[in-house]
Amino acid sequence: MRFNTYTVGEGAECVVYYFGPGEGGSVQANLDRWVGQFQDPPAPPRIQHLTVHGLKVTTVDMAGSYSGMGGPMASGGARKPGFRLLGAIAEGPEGSVFFKFTGPAKIVATQAAAFDKMVQTLQGKGK
């Protein structure tokens, strides 16, 4: 379920999803879905596996023509060239939290350091 959406400049947003314990799909399924929303990437996705304050966190950074979400519950839509995605999946004891920041590559680039800093501040419940 979409927990919150942050607008970041024109055409960019950072969405936070939380579905509950054992919900939302595996880390790999989400990475596959996010990567599959791009065509014509200038480079392969950069995926990192980190430990942040005891939490397993997987990040992804990729660019290309973005189609957005697809499937029966989402509209998908026309491809948007020149987009970038920064994503993070934090695996916590009460379920994973998904962060998906998408938008025009130039806008996302201006906020990439802030996104990375946000990821480094993640902490489990009660920390």
Handedness of CA 73, 26, 57, 122 (dihedral sign): positive
User: 73: how many CB neighbours lie within 10 A of its CB?
Assistant: 6
Split the chain (127 residues) into runs of 10 and give each run's mean pLDDT.
Answer: 88 95 94 95 96 96 87 60 97 94 97 96 77
User: 77: how many CB neighbours lie within 10 A of its CB?
Assistant: 11
First-residue to last-residue Cα distance in the chain: 24
pLDDT of amino acid 79: 87
pLDDT of amino acid 126: 58
Global pTM value: 0.90
Rg (CA), the chain: 14
Domains in the chain: ranges and CATH = 2-120 (3.40.1000.10)
pLDDT of amino acid 2: 82
pLDDT of amino acid 24: 93
pLDDT of amino acid 68: 82
